[in-house]
Each structure stands twice: as C-alpha cells, then as structure tokens.
C-alpha cells in the first residue's frame, strides 16, 4: 500500500511537469487503480469508488464537446463578467515593447541556453576608437566642479565639442549622418561620462534616449527623417521632449495639454493644424533646445479629421515636433534639480498654431502618441539611468576603496576594520550586480528587443542599489565626503542621487505598478490570451481560444506546483542546472529555477484570489515585482560571469551579489504570503515553497571581508569591477591622487616589510602615520642608507599623493561664489 501511494505521488508529479493531455491522465488513472486492485489489496469497493471519483472528471476534460459545454463556456462567461475594464492607455502600456528573458523567468522553467548562447557585449573597432579618443577628450574638457560652480552648464567649448564630434547623433544611422552606434556603445559612453561629469553625461544621454531622434527613427515620415535626422546628428538642432505636466506626472497618460484641430495660417498659407496650449515642466535640455518634441491630447470638436459623426472628439495623445523659435513657444527658464546643472526647465504655449504635418509620422500617427512613447521608453529606459548610475558608482567604488586602503587610523588602514568591510562589500557587490544588469539590458536592445518590463526592472533596481552604494561610500569617507570642493569626488553623486530615483518613471510607481502590473500580463504565457479570447466578438472563436488558454493555464499551474513542491522537498537540489553552467555556480542556477517556479505559482494564485483588485494592492504587486526583478538580477550576474570568461578571482562578487538578490526574492515571496487575504492558501504555498524554512541567507561576514579585501587589492579583478570609467590623471583632477597612492601600496608594503627588523631593533625610527611627517622620515632613512634612491622617490610619491587624497577643500570666510565664478570666467575667456 505504501509503495502504491508513493507511486501515485511520483506519477502525478511527473505527469504535471510533463504537462500531458487529459487522455494520458485517464490512462494513468486507470493503470494506477488497476495496480492497486491487483497488487496493493485495495478491494473491489475501493476501486469502484476511485473509478467513480476520478474517471468522470478526467473524461469531461478529455472529451472536447463535454469540456466546452460543462467547463469552458461557463468559465468564459464568468471571466468576461469579472474581467476589469481596461482603458486604451492601459492597453497600450501593456502591449508596448517586447518580452524577452523576463518571460522565461515567468515560465517556471527558464531556458538558460537562450541566455548563455548570446554573445558577450562588445564594441566594434570604430566604437572602441571613439570611446578611447573622443569620449576621453570630452572627459578632459569637463569636470563636475567646474560645470557646477563655474559654468553652471557645460562650457561653450565642451558644448561645441559635443556637437562637432557627433555625440548627439550616436543612435542615428550613418545614412542620416549619425554614428549608428550600438545600444551597448551608447551605454558605455554614458557610463564613462557619468564617472566624471554628470552634466556631460545627461546632455549626451537625452538626445540619444527618449527624444525626437528615437521617435523619428521609429515613426517619422521619410520627409521628417531626411530633414531632422542629419541636423540632429550634426548638432545643428538640440532636441528635447516634453511629456510631464504640473498635473500629470506619474499619470502621464492624463496630460491636460490640448491641441484643437482647426484651420490656421502658417508661412502665408491656410492649412489644417492644431491650436495648441500646453504647460510642461522637468524638460531636460528644454532651456537650450532648438526643436521641441511635444506630447498633447488632440481634440476635434468640428470633426475636421473624422467624417463619422459618432466618432470620439478626443482623438488621443499625439506627438509633434515644433521649432522653439516658433511664435508662441516659451522656453529658456531653468529648473535647478539638486544643484545638478544639466539644462532642465519648463516650456509652455497658449493658442499656438502648428501645421498638421508637424505630427511625428504625419496624419496617420494622430492619437497614437502614447503607444509611441511606451515603445521608445522601453528601449531608452534600459540604457540611460542604469548606465549613468553605474558610471558614478564606479567612481565611488574606485575612490572609496583606494581611500580605505591608504587612509590610516589607529596605525592601520581603515580598510582593515570590519565595520568598513561591511560598507565596502555593500559597494563592491552591488556594483558588480548593477554593471551586469546594465550590460545584459543593453544586449537585449541590441538583439532587437524593446524590453518594457526589463527596462523598468533595470531602471528601478540599478538606481535603488546605486543609492545604497553611494550612502555606504559616504559612511566610509566621513568628513571628506561632506566638504564640498574639487577634492570631493562623491558629493555630487550623493547630492543628485534622488534625480535618478525620480526621472523616467518614479521608482515607487515603477515598482508598485509597472514591473509586475505589466509583466504579469505580458510575460505570462496564458493571461493575455485569455483576455484576448474574452474580448473576441466571434463567440465560436472566443470559446475555442479561451478553452485552449484556460486549460493550458491550468496545466501551467499544475506544472509549477509540482516543480515548486519537489524543489522544496529536495532543498533546492532537484531543479536541474544547464549543462553549460560552471560547477561552482550550479546551485545558483538551480535556485533561480526553484524561485521561478515558486514565483509563477504565487503569481497565478494571487491573480486568482485577488482578480482585478490586484492592481490596487500595490504592496503585494510590488513584492511580486521584486521577485521577478531579483531573478533577473541573478541571471544578469550569471551571464556576466560567463561573458568575462569565468574569472575565479571574481567569485566573491558573484556570490555576494547572488546571495543578496536571492535573499531579497525570498523575503518578497514571504512578504506576499504574510499579507495574503486567503490565509489557508498562504499557508499551503509557504509549505510547498519553503517546507524547511528560509533557504537563502544574506552574505556572511566572512564573504563581506573577502569582497572588501578584493576591492583594496590592485589587480585584474578590481580593474574589471571599475572598467570603462574615466581614469583621471595627475594634474587633471585631485581625485587622481588617491588612485596614484593606491597603485603604490604594494611596493610601499614591501619596503616596510624589509625595514621591519631595523625598526624593531631600534636602529630606524618607526614609519609615522602622518603622511606629512613621513616625508621627513623618508629623508632621514635615505640619509642613513636604509632605503635606495628609487625607494626614496617611490615613498615620496606615495606620501605626496596620499596626503593630497586625504585633504579636503576650505575657503576664506569672505569667499563669494558668484564673484569667484565671474573672475574664473573672465580668466578662461582671456585664456
């Protein structure tokens, strides 16, 4: 009897995972009952009862006419009744973009070969040359201190360089005079500029992200492309795009800006167009733009565009391009976003007439602007904020790790204290993960995807982890981090971090509404099909399509239930890892498979229990989105390790990042269950997923210390961690001194080790902690012959650079910033 029951469990789990059809289930049921009667001694009565209990339901599912009549048709009617109404803007948002690895993570059984076989992101020879030369030259023309405190913008020289060298046309194809660079190259450029000067990064980023160029490439008429794209690529036009209004921020689809269809006069001719009134704010490059991309709502009260008298007067959101020197366009004023000096400001206009031909894509695209924006944002959001956040995070990691290794207190470097280890590990582990996400998301765009869900994940989690990283760096730097001046390499990042959190979809909105709200429908293999079937006018087709989707969905739930239960009972050892996975990381692949199945099961149960109200349960939706997100983050880390050639010295970063992400996914899962309205189901799901408690723990103290020591060790692993950032040289930036001192630490330590016997014997004075006093010690040691001339020079360089790196800026009490700026500008102009 025991083995017969075990056979039931194993057989049911196997059939669920194989997702066999109802006829095979019927055969299996009959075989199981017959085996029990023949060999397990269940008796005739018990066998008959089992046949009556199990066979009829299985036959109903197997025989399609019966299934239609008794199951699918009633279920369709219920589904149509309870299905929440979806506005056109919601539908456009959900359907915009494409699904990619996010759908695999939603499947419960990710196909790792699809991810691992993708080539590692790589720059072409032309892109590498531009990166090594033009991008490097731009970095040497600018700095955060000068752009902020002197120019309050890019300098005129830097702006001209940006225009002349084609930075504004990186995504524009060569046939229009652009660079035709890849998304990965776009990301690399923004990352490098952000590691040195935020104003330069954002000024280059915006024209190449969500803006007129992207919209024109995707939707513009040939005439519009031929006119605008060469001018944008050459820097003859500076673009901006205006979407956000004072009363339509996160709810951008509700913009109140209106264009009324009318006849008007332009260039001496009467023509059809719009009488536009708008009031926008937070428009990056708005104050200096020469061409304004504008989103507005079209209304046609006189029905000049629609012949049907029953048609809607409100034709929907539309995008147009307007020269900023057009009569009635008001620009030029600036916002001041947390002392960041990239150009950003309002734009407005009242009763401004524009020709209909100025609509991007012409007349056919009237009313399709929201879909256009969602499609373009899906690609741009995957690049811009992730790249810029990784850029200034690399600067923070480079500077802070060097400072911790070189700065001494209590006669030892502060980087050896465990409290500092915790902060450094938080920085290094997060940076490794953030950069992995940036690279994989750019790879998706280059693969032709418009990854709407992945871009939201990337933007939200990279900026949130960037905030954690910067805060940790400030804790390590202490007083050096809070005194403004050219010596402070962290202040601007710390000051401006909330900007990244806020723009291109505020993080609260992105987490609570977009990641899962859009991902649950787009990435789920059956939900969108069920919704489409429910809205089908042809009832016969609706029933057929709904039946296929419904029973596919049920099979999907059963398969994930089986996978989740078996993974839980085996403590995560049963889900298989791909053959190509490195042995040292196979358990992480299995962990993602386990959490993927558990996530898919929990998502289906949440949608079943909460239905349409799930979109209003933002904390539950947010936590479900967190699970999906953390699985994407882990996937990014695993892919990066493969792309980098499996360097074993990077494993501490890999382990830290994955352990942290898996722990967060687990806690989000349990957070959903702790707040789940159906308590019995919540208990069942917890037991199924984690029958033996919490399997995923935060990185240990020992791992923290290993990561921190890696960050303070000069070598290839640290070089890979900060690769692609701008490396300041001596004389260019005070920040360079810390890295120069850091590069000499190993040699200094070797000299100290050689001199230790003499110091212990008392024949040589101990090396002083103060780098100023160290200079005197060096002279004395050289005079006594204890160190060679080369060693004397090396130690003096270390002391000089080290002393420079620990200093902070100070200013006279009567220091007048405005007067200082004016004097500096006069000196620069004379030079």
504 assigned to active site: yes
Q: What is the pLDDT of residues 41-99, one digit of tens each?
A: 788 888 888 888 889 999 999 999 999 999 999 999 888 877 766 666 667 767 777 88
Find tokens 């921020």 and name the residue: 249
Domain residue ranges of the chain, discontinuous segments joined by + = 2-62, 93-118+383-518, 239-380, 523-698, 744-831
**Which H or E run contains 757?**
helix 745-761
Task: Tell me which residue of 153, 156, 173, 175 sits closest to 164, measured CA to CA.
Answer: 156
Closest to 116 (Cα-Cα) out of 565, 530, 639, 563: 639
Q: Is the Cα dihedral 647, 116, 109, 26 positive or negative?
A: negative
Q: Which residue has the tokens 């060679």?
A: 788
- Residue 132 pLDDT greater than 80, yes or no: yes
Contacts with 785 (C-beta within 8 Å, 6 or more apart), sequence order: none
The DSSP line for 101-130 is HHHHHHTTS--HHHHHTSPPP---HHHHHH
* pLDDT value at residue 830: 61
- DSSP 3-state of 275: strand
- pLDDT at position 340: 87
The backbone torsions φ and ψ at residue 295, rounded to the nearest 5 degrees and listed phi first, read -100, 130
What is the C-alpha separation between 106 and 97, in angstroms, rounded? 17
Phi and psi for 450 in degrees, rounded to 5? Answer: -120, 80
Residue 73, CA distances (Å) to 65, 543, 612 in order: 10, 6, 21
What is the tens place of the pLDDT at every residue in 5-37? Answer: 887 788 888 889 888 898 898 898 888 888 887
Identify the DSSP state of 512. Answer: I
**What CATH class does 239-380 carry?**
mainly beta
| Sequence-ordered list of residues with C-beta below 8 angstroms from that of 593, at least 6 positions apart, any chain | 109, 110, 563, 567, 575, 576, 577
Task: Pick the closest to residue 770 from 744, 803, 818 (CA basis).
Answer: 803
Query: What is the rounded distance in angstroms from the CA atom of residue 393 to the CA atom of residue 434?
Result: 9
Residue 40 clears pLDDT 90, i.e. is over it: no
> Which residue reads 């913008």 in tokens?
153
Catalytic residue among 504, 642, 739, 791: 504
Taking residues 269-298, what's their average pLDDT? 94
User: What is the average pLDDT score of the chain?
Assistant: 90
Q: Taking the alpha carbons of 354, 360, 364, 366 in that order, is the dihedral positive or negative?
A: negative
CB 517 within 8 A of CB 621: yes
CATH topology of domain 93-118+383-518: Butyryl-CoA Dehydrogenase, subunit A; domain 3 (1.20.140)
> What pLDDT was estimated at residue 87?
64
Out of 229-238, 581-590, 712-721, 776-785, least confident range: 776-785
- For the four alpha carbons of 465, 467, 469 and 471, in that order, the dihedral sign comes to negative
Q: Where are the alpha helices (DSSP H) in 329-478?
A: 369-380, 384-406, 418-446, 452-477
Q: What confidence tens digit (pLDDT) does each residue in 605-652 have?
A: 999 898 878 878 999 999 999 999 999 999 999 999 999 999 999 999
Residue 709 has pLDDT above 90, yes or no: yes
User: pTM for this one?
Assistant: 0.93
């Amino acid at each position: 009897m025991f083995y017969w029951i075990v056979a039931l469990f194993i057989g049911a789990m196997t059939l669920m995972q194989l997702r066999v059809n109802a006829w095979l289930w019927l055969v299996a049921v009959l075989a199981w009952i017959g085996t029990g009667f023949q060999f397990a001694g269940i008796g005739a009565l018990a066998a008959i009862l089992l046949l009556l209990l199990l066979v009829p339901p299985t036959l109903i599912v197997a025989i399609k006419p019966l299934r239609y009549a008794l199951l699918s048709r009633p279920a369709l009617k219920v589904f149509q009744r309870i299905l929440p109404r979806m506005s056109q803007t919601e539908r456009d948002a959900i359907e915009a973009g494409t699904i990619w690895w996010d759908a695999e993570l939603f499947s419960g059984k990710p196909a790792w070969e699809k991810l691992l076989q993708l080539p590692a992101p790589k720059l072409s020879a032309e892109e590498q040359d531009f990166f090594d030369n033009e991008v490097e030259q731009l970095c040497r023309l600018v700095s955060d201190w000068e752009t902020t405190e002197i120019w309050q913008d890019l300098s005129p020289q830097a702006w001209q360089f940006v225009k002349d060298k084609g930075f504004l046309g990186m995504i524009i194809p060569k046939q229009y005079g652009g660079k035709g660079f890849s998304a990965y190259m776009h990301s690399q450029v923004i990352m490098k500029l952000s590691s040195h000067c935020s104003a330069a990064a954002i000024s280059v980023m915006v024209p190449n992200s969500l803006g007129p160029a992207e919209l024109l490439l995707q939707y513009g008429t040939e005439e519009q492309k031929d006119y605008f794209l060469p001018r944008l690529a050459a820097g003859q036009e500076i673009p901006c795009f205006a979407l956000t209004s004072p009363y339509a921020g996160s709810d951008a689809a509700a913009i109140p800006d209106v264009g009324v269809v009318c006849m008007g006069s332009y260039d001496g001719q009467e023509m059809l167009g719009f009488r536009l009134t708008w009031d926008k704010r937070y428009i990056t490059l708005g104050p200096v733009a020469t061409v304004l991309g504008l989103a507005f709502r079209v209304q046609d009260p006189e029905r000049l565009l629609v012949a049907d008298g029953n048609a809607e007067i409100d034709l929907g959101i539309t995008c147009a391009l307007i020269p900023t020197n057009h009569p009635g366009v008001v620009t030029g004023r600036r916002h001041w976003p947390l002392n960041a000096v990239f150009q950003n400001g309002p734009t407005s206009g009242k009763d401004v007439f524009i020709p209909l031909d100025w609509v991007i894509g012409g007349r056919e695209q009237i009313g399709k602007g929201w879909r256009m924006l969602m499609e373009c944002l899906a690609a741009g959001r995957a690049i811009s904020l992730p790249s810029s956040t990784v850029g200034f995070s690399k600067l923070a990691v480079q500077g802070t790790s060097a400072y911790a290794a070189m700065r001494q207190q209590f006669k030892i470097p502060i980087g050896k204290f465990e409290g500092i280890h915790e902060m450094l590990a938080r920085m290094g582990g997060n940076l490794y993960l953030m950069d992995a996400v940036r690279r994989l998301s750019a790879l998706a765009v280059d693969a032709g995807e418009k990854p709407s869900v992945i871009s939201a994940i990337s933007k939200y989690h990279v900026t949130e982890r960037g905030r954690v990283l910067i805060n940790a760096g400030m804790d390590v730097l202490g007083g050096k981090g809070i005194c403004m001046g050219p010596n402070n390499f962290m202040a601007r990042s710390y000051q401006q971090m909330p900007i990244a959190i806020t723009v291109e979809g505020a993080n609260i909105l992105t987490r609570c509404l977009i990641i899962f709200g859009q991902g649950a429908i787009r990435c789920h293999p059956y939900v969108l099909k069920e919704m489409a079937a429910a809205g089908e006018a042809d009832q016969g087709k609706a029933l057929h399509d709904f039946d296929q989707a419904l029973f596919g969905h049920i099979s999907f739930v059963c398969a994930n239930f089986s996978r989740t239960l078996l993974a839980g009972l085996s403590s995560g050892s049963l889900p298989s890892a791909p053959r190509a996975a490195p042995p040292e990381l196979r358990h992480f692949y299995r962990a993602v498979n386990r959490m993927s199945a558990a996530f898919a099961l929990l998502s289906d149960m949440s949608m079943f229990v909460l239905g349409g109200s799930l979109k209003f349960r933002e904390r539950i939706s947010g936590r479900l989105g967190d699970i999906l997100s953390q699985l994407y983050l882990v996937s990014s880390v695993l892919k990066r390790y493969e792309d980098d050639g499996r360097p074993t010295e990077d494993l501490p970063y890999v382990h830290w990042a994955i352990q942290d992400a898996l722990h967060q996914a687990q806690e989000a899962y349990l957070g959903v269950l702790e707040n789940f309205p159906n308590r019995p189901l919540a208990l069942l799901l917890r037991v199924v997923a984690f029958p033996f408690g919490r399997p995923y723990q935060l990185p240990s103290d020992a791992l923290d210390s290993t990561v921190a020591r890696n960050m303070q060790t000069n070598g290839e692993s640290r070089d890979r961690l900060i690769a692609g950032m701008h490396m300041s040289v001596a004389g260019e930036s005070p920040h360079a001194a810390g890295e120069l001192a850091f590069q000499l630490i190993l040699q200094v330590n070797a000299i100290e080790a050689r001199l230790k016997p003499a110091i212990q014997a008392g024949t040589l004075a101990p090396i002083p902690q103060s780098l100023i006093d160290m200079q005197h010690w060096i002279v004395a040691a050289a005079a006594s012959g204890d160190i060679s001339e080369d060693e004397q020079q090396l130690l003096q360089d270390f002391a000089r650079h080290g002393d420079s790196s620990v200093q902070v800026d100070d200013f006279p009490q009567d220091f007048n910033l405005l007067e200082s700026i004016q004097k500096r500008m006069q000196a620069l102009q004379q030079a």
